[in-house]
Amino acid sequence: MRTIQNGFSATSLALLCLAGAHAQTYPSRPIKMNVTTLPGGAPDITARVVSQKLSEALGQQVVVENRPGSNGNIAVEATVKAAPDGHTLMVCAESQLVINPHLYKQLPFDALKDLVVIATLVSNEFVLTINPALPVKNFKEFIAFSRISNPTLNYASAGNGSQHHLTMEMFKSRAGLKLLHVPYKGGTAAATATVSGEVAAVFAGSSSAPQIRAGRLRALAVASATRSKTFPELPTIAEFYPGFSNSIWLAMCGPAALPEPIVTRLRTEVNKLLAQPDTRERFSNAGALEPFITTPDQLAALIKSEYAKYGKVVKDIGATMD
């Protein structure tokens, strides 16, 4: 086979040229953006803000399609099986990338190999919240009450193996608490169950800020490393248990074979829209979300560290999914 002076084969050069040509005409039709949750949660809020801004930037409609279920695996499978031409994307949470691989032993895909993570989108802090009927007013009182409660208090999560679940398990271990886990189908359902009194507590995403402000949930502390911009009056859990920190981040992903010129264009457009003041305002108003911009190297390091962290948590609590 004839080679070019720089070491590329003629075939490789032709493929690069073809990818460049695709990027120049991209997008040629509406783009579908798969979302791992039902409407109302942080991934859905993020997708709807980003899709509108991205539609304007690319000149093609970006349509949000909710595909909830199986900790996001349904949306991932639909994405990895799509043609790698940039017309099928998804908003993925870190759980699909760094938690599910430890939980599920027989997935029909390898998320870290079959997806390309194009760009980070937002970060979303966890807030420890309780039903207001619980006879506690602050974090210290919750710890004390949890230890003497009979029956044992229960807590909601967005599902077995979800970030909500694992964050509470990390917290339980650190604080020496016994709380019973009740999984729901998504963070919105978990928060609603806490509001109704079906369960006592939940690590709610900051998309539950309206319910907290309305008094339907009582916020006790945040799981982030620093105090919340949304709820600056709340302590961090790290103020009581040094080093404790956990939060959510969301990213835009696509099929792994997505041509690099399309990946680069999407990353560039996403970072531009995230930097716009009105985008920040919309995220804040819709769900107390924060735009989260990273470089490719920072993103790679983040995935590596989170993969190791959650792998240890899953092993420690013995969690597994079929």
Res. 9: pLDDT tops 90: no
pTM: 0.83
pLDDT average, residue stretch 53-72:
94
Q: How many helices (H) and strands (E) does the chain have?
A: 13, 10
User: Nearest Cα to 92, choosing from 101, 264, 83?
Assistant: 101
Q: Quick one: what percent of the chain has pLDDT higher than 90? A: 73
Whole-Å CA distances, 6 to 10, 12, 13, 203, 285 = 11, 11, 10, 54, 51
* Residue position matching structure tokens 């210290």: 140
Q: Is residue 222 a contact partner of residue 228, using CB atoms and an 8 Å limit?
A: yes
Predicted pLDDT of residue 307? 95
Q: Is residue 31 a contact partner of residue 88, using CB atoms and an 8 Å limit?
A: yes
3-state secondary structure of 313: helix
- Name all domains of the chain by residue range, CATH numbers in brackets: 10-124+248-317 (3.40.190.150), 125-239 (3.40.190.10)
Mean pLDDT of the chain: 90
Predicted pLDDT of residue 7? 45
Residue type, 57: A
Res. 2: pLDDT tops 50: no
Predicted pLDDT of residue 64? 98
Res. 12: pLDDT tops 70: no
Structure tokens belonging to residue 69: 């279920």
Other CB atoms within a 10 A radius of the CB of residue 285 amount to: 13
Res. 17: pLDDT tops 60: no
Res. 15: pLDDT tops 80: no
Other CB atoms within a 10 A radius of the CB of residue 70 amount to: 18
CA 82 to the chain's CA centroid: 21
What's the pLDDT tens digit per position in 270-279?
999 999 999 9
Confidence label for 322 from pLDDT (cuts 50, 70 and 90): low
* Helices 260-274 + 277-287 axis angle, to 10: 80
My answer on whether omega of the bond before 108 falls inside 30° of 0, hence cis, is: no
Q: How far apart are the C-alpha atoms of 247 and 135, rounded to whole Å?
A: 27
Question: What residues contact 232, with CB distance under 8 A and at least 6 apart?
Answer: none
What's the pLDDT tens digit per position in 164-212?
999 999 999 999 999 999 998 878 889 999 999 999 999 988 668 889 9
8-state DSSP, 99 = I
Predicted pLDDT of residue 21? 53
pLDDT average, residue stretch 136-150:
97
Q: How far apart are the C-alpha atoms of 251 and 253, rounded to whole Å?
A: 6
Residue 207: Cβ-neighbour burial (10 angstroms; 0-12, 13-18, 19+): buried
User: Nearest Cα to 160, choosing from 209, 102, 80?
Assistant: 102
Res. 11: pLDDT tops 90: no
Whole-Å CA distances, 11 to 4, 159, 258, 289 = 10, 47, 18, 45
Residue type, 11: T
What's the pLDDT tens digit per position in 210-251?
899 999 999 999 999 999 888 899 999 999 999 999 988 999
What's the pLDDT tens digit per position in 64-114?
999 988 889 999 999 999 999 999 999 999 999 999 999 998 899 999 999
Residue type, 17: C
Q: Is residue 201 a contact partner of residue 128, using CB atoms and an 8 Å limit?
A: yes
Predicted pLDDT of residue 51? 97
What's the pLDDT tens digit per position in 160-169?
888 899 999 9
Q: Quick one: what percent of the chain has pLDDT higher than 70? A: 92
Predicted pLDDT of residue 18? 52
Residue type, 141: E
